[in-house]
């Protein structure tokens, strides 16, 4: 692609989590199924599983650099994910949970999602820019979804009381693992033992914690921030029976 100085700068403004939208890159191959120890629910207690159709998860990535105002913030949504919540008794004491989603299924900058996020996401991206940027974002120079197809987390500890909780989670991303705390709210939607659970939460991931170098160009004139915000609203349905010893 031949671009003058002005045209090259304009193309660079199409950055999305790392690479210019004008760059031609073939999308990564769809990931093969991966066995996930994080999604093996422990034996004992009662099990609830994520209902993706009634849940939502999104990642927010923000522009940086001296000329950040010329770039774009980005939102990625996960239409496919799975997970579970396991309760050993009637309350959340001793509970555990896990969540996993495939990176190759992420949707980048859906117009309706950008509109819901307000002025900070009001800039317009063409469908061609979004498609090329998404392919580059999932490619080997950034998330490398072909080699590392999943982002997974599972709880190590849950503290708090009532609906207000904090969970220490282990996150597996980009071939590396990192532990951190997240704040969340959890409530059961009825008094029946098998009533659905709703769990909401938010955490901030630093790309550098997982060996990912946030993109910058022109000596940092245009860049993406290291921090990526993950927001989730999860509904879980009862697996219909308590887990047995062989679960």
Give the residue from 99, 100, 35, 96 showing the smallest Cα distance to 243. Answer: 96
Per-residue pLDDT reduced to its tens digit, 201-241: 999 999 999 999 887 777 778 888 999 999 999 999 998 65
Q: Do residues 234 and 83 lie in contact, with contact meaning Cβ atoms separated by under 8 Å?
A: yes
**pLDDT given at position 21:** 39
Place of tokens 């919540």: 85
CA distance 162 to 113: 31
Banded pLDDT at 183 (limits 50, 70, 90) = very high
Question: Mean per-residue pLDDT for 88-108?
Answer: 87
Environment class of residue 44 by beta-carbon count within 10 Å: exposed (0-12), middle (13-18) or buried (19+)? middle
Handedness of CA 26, 115, 78, 38 (dihedral sign): positive
**pLDDT given at position 31:** 39
Angle at 169 (CA atoms; ends 197, 226), nearest 5 degrees: 115
Indicate whether this model's pTM tops 0.85.
no
Other beta carbons within 10 angstroms of residue 2's beta carbon come to: 5
Per domain, the residue ranges of the chain are 5-23+39-242
Q: Do residues 212 and 233 lie in contact, with contact meaning Cβ atoms separated by under 8 Å?
A: no
Angle at 216 (CA atoms; ends 214, 220), nearest 5 degrees: 130
Question: Mean per-residue pLDDT for 5-29?
Answer: 38
Q: Which fold has domain 5-23+39-242?
A: Lipocalin (2.40.128)
**pLDDT given at position 200:** 96
Question: Which residues touch 166 (CB under 8 Å, ≥6 apart)?
Answer: 158, 159, 160, 181, 182, 183, 184
């Amino acid at each position: 692609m031949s671009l003058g100085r002005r045209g090259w700068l304009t193309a660079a403004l199409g950055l999305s989590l790392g690479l210019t939208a004008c760059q031609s890159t073939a999308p990564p191959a769809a990931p093969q199924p991966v066995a996930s120890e994080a999604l093996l629910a422990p034996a004992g207690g009662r099990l609830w599983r994520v209902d993706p159709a009634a849940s939502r998860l999104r990642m927010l990535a923000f522009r940086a650099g001296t000329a950040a105002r010329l770039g774009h913030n980005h939102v990625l949504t996960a239409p496919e994910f799975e997970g579970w919540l396991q309760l050993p008794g009637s309350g959340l004491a001793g509970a555990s949970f896990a969540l996993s989603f495939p990176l190759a299924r992420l949707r980048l900058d859906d117009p309706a999602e950008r509109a819901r996020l307000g002025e900070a996401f009001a800039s317009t991206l063409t469908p061609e820019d979004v498609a090329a940027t998404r392919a580059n974002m999932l490619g080997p120079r950034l998330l490398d979804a072909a080699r590392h197809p999943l982002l997974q987390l599972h709880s190590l500890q849950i503290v708090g009381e009532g609906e207000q909780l904090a969970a220490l989670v282990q996150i597996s991303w980009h071939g590396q693992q990192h532990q951190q705390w997240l704040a969340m709210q959890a409530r059961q939607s009825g008094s029946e033992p098998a009533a659905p659970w709703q769990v909401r939460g938010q955490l901030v991931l630093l790309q550098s914690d997982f060996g990912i170098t946030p993109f910058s160009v022109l000596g940092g004139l245009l860049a993406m921030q290291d921090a990526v915000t993950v927001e989730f609203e999860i509904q879980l349905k009862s697996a219909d029976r308590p887990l047995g010893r062989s679960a």
